[in-house]
Each structure stands twice: as structure tokens, then as C-alpha cells.
Chain A
Amino acid sequence: MSTPAFTLIGFGPEGWGKLLLLAAGLTLVAAVCSFALGSLLGAAGAVLKLASSRSLRGIGTFYTTVFRGIPEILVVYLFYFGGSLALTRLMHLAGFPGFFSLPFFIIGVVAIGLVSGAYQTEAYRSAYLRLERGQIEAGKACGMSRFVLLWRVIAPQTLRFALPALGNIWQSVLKETALLSIIGLIELLRQSTIASGATRQPLLFYGVAALLYLVMGQITALGIRTVEKRLARCWGR
């Protein structure tokens, strides 16, 4: 109680400022990796959901229904407990005794990435459906191969239409990384818990954590809006 709040969150010998900023950096890295994994899964999911084969569509629907319908924390737990157990079993089969655990970071990124991939699937799918059919036909008529068509016509426009939804998904990914504190990854929330345990100032440190999340979210939102505006300008609508 004797140390003033400003010293505690500062960068001096008694301050937690540097550790908190580093942890915020880890939060950002985890969010970027999860979002990137989610983009790959989302693109694959959208292809599945738009496929002409019924069973492929079924797989896509199963993926989005499950990962959007169950709480993220359950997915994180499942990978936290299940991932290490599966790895240990695998290593036992290969002849390595003992217990093996995956790094928290990998578990977290895979779990959050899978959930965000389910949401991104819907974003890409609805963006693709907004594309004008005539453009694809025109591309084919010009003799574009499937790859060129995808690269020149489909991908850029789908991305542009999906951008607002992707921005929202990014924000929720950033916030969901807070769940990784539960499995022991020392990201922003975990670091704040450690600091508030050591100083008995939970209000101060959770408040600072909230502020840092807010700042990260607002700055990235500003960036996304700028890109959106620029794209709107070059497409002219």
C-alpha cells in the first residue's frame, strides 16, 4: 500500500511497466498468429462450404457449427489437456517414455485459430457470394485459367468484401487471447494477475490490462478502417 500506483506501473525497479508491455507484446503476437491460422482455416472452410459435393459441404458446416456453438474456453481446455495427452501417447508409441507437453503458446494459437477460422469461414463465404457472377464468366471468357481467375478476380474482391467482418473477428481474437492466461501462458492478463498478486493491487493492474487491450484494439481498428477507405477509393464505390 505504501508504494504509489504510479511507481507500480512505471518502469523503475519497483515498477511492472516493462513486464506488462512485454506481456502485451506476447498477446499481440499470439493474436496475430491465431488470426493468420484462422485465415487459412477460414479460406479452406469457405471452399468446403461452397463446394458442389454435398459431403464436403457437410464437413464445412460441421466445422463452423461446432466451433461457433461451443464456448472458446472449452476448446482451449480441450487442446490444453488433450493435446499433451495425445502427444505423450504418440511419443510412447514411438518408444519415448515420460510425459510430454506442448508449449502453451502453440496450444493457445491452435485453439483460438480454430475458433476464429470458423467465424472467418462465414466471412469469406458471404463475401464470395456477393461477387458478381458475370465477372467470373467474363474472366473465363477471356481465357483465364482457374488460378489466374482466383488470383486476379476472385481473391481481391472477396477480401475487400470480407474486410469489415474480418476486422470484427480480429477484435474478438485479440480479446480471446485473454483465455490463454488460464492455461498458464504469461500474456497480458496473466502478467497482470501475477503483478496484482505480488502487490495486492488487483484493481490497478487489471485496469491497466484493460486499458492496454483497449489501446491495442483501437489502434488496429484505425489501421483496418484506413485500409478499408483506401480500397473503397480504388474500387470507386
Chain B
Amino acid sequence: MDWPFLFATAKTLLTGVPLTLRLAATSLCAGFVLAVGIAALAGSRFAPARWIAALYVMLFQGTPLLVQIFIVYYGFGQIDFLRASFAWPFLQQAYWCAVLALSLNTSAYGAEIIRGAIAAVPAREIEAARAMGMSGLLLRRRIIWPQALQYGLANYGNEAILLLKATSLASVITLMDVTGLAYRLVSKTYRSEEIFTVAGLIYLALTFVIATGVHLLERRLTPCRQV
């Protein structure tokens, strides 16, 4: 085994980690905000709002992320009002195209997780709270949201891991994240097994860190420490 080469490769590829993490973190936050909005629409009493949410989820879950990235990166330039809008300086950059596509994509999955978590709060507890005179924001803040957070956290953690893996697709639109750097290195040296193995190990390490973090957070949030 060629250890010096492996170390040199690891050193090069690690310089892509900040970009990978930035893509994932930005999309996770933006996606969460969108997801809350979509979940609110999905839980609305107004039927057309529910249809819009269902259509949104179907569109973004039903098509490949790569197609979504291509539509944003190559296709949006054809839309005149986008070219004239304030967003255009951002959409000219591959980074923001990737962030937009990743956020929209993860928000569809996030919305489903949030909806499921809220539905998992026992109806009896909500009835009890209402009987105590709680309503509106107080009911949500004290009863619904804390429990939904517990139910949804593990699933949202999985989604964060899937999102981290999905950021690798940004390399297709020229971004030099871990995958992009690995690809460039392979086309220079043709030592694909070693380079892609190192890249894979970096992703495994990152997913392990996220999974551990979510698990710790979950333990903290469970008051009776049963988990």
C-alpha cells in the first residue's frame, strides 16, 4: 500500500470538506424553513392548500435530484423574469444553484417528516390541554412542538445524512467539494480505487459524526432518559 500517496490524497480531499459541509448546512437550514411552511400547508383546513403541499412533495420526491439541479443550473437562464430579478447574480453561481436545488429537494422530505411528527402527538394530550384552557400558540409551544421534536428528530437526522450524501451531486455542476476534488484527482492520476476509497471514508466519517450528534441530542431531549 502506498501510504504517502494515501496521505497526500486525504490532505487534498479534506480541503473539500468545508464546502461539502457548507452546502449541507445551508440547504438543511433553508430546507427546514421551507419544510415548516409546506407542512403547515399540508395540515391546513383549506383543501387547495393541502393540494398544493401534496403537489410540491410529489414533484420534488418524484424526480431525480440531478434533474432538479440541471433545471436550476441550465434551465433558469432561459426564464426572462429570473434574469431580470435580484436573484440572478446568485443563480449565475453554481454554488447557489446547488443550494437552491438541494434546499427545495430536502424540504419536500422534511415536510413529510414534520407532518408525521405532528400527527404522532397523541390526540388525548391535545384534548387534555384544550380542556385546561390552552389554545393557539401556547398549546403548540408547550404540548405539540416539544413532543413532535422528539418524534421527528431521528427521522430528520436521517434526512440530514441523506442530504450530506446528496451534496456530492453538486460536483457535477463544477463545484469542488470532496467528490469534485476526488474526480479531478482521478482524472489526473488514474488511481481511482485509492482516491475514491479515501473520499468514501471521509463521507463515512462525516455521516458518523452527524448520526452521533443527533443521537446525543435525542438523549438530551428525552426527559426520562430512556433512550
Given the contacts A66-B200, A78-B196, A213 and B75 also touching, CB distance less than 8 Å: no
Name the interface size band of chain B: 35 or more
* A181 interface hit (Cβ, 8 Å): yes
**Least Cβ distance of A30 to chain B in Å?**
13
Bitwise interface map of A from 178 to 205 toward B, beta carbon under 8 Å scored 1, else 0: 1101100000010011001000011100
CB-defined contacts of A193 to chain B, threshold 8 Å: 70
A: interface residue count bin:
35 or more
Shortest beta-carbon distance from B209 to chain A in Å: 11
B58 neighbours in A (Cβ, 8 Å) = 214, 218
Contacts of A78 in B (CB 8 A): 192-193, 196-197, 200
A70 near B204 (CB under 8 angstroms)?
Answer: yes
Stretch among B41-49, B132-140, B143-151, B168-176 lining the A interface: B168-176
Q: Is the CB–CB distance between A73 and B71 below 8 Å?
A: no
Contact with A along B111-146 (1 / 0, CB 8 A): 000000000000000000000000000000000000
Q: Is the interface of B mostly helix, strand, loop or mixed?
A: helix
Chain A positions 198 through 222: 1 when the CB is less than 8 Å from some CB of chain B, otherwise 0? 0001110011011001100110000
Given contacts A70-B203, A178-B65, 14 further A-B contacts (CB under 8 A): A65-B204, A69-B165, A71-B179, A73-B169, A74-B168, A78-B200, A81-B190, A85-B192, A171-B61, A192-B67, A203-B79, A207-B71, A214-B63, A218-B58
Question: 8 closest pairs, A vs B, by CB?
Answer: A81-B192, A203-B75, A178-B64, A71-B168, A202-B74, A175-B64, A70-B200, A71-B165
Residues of A near any B CB (own CB < 8 A): 65-66, 69-74, 77-78, 81-82, 85, 171, 175-179, 181-182, 189, 192-193, 196, 201-203, 206-207, 209-210, 213-214, 217-218
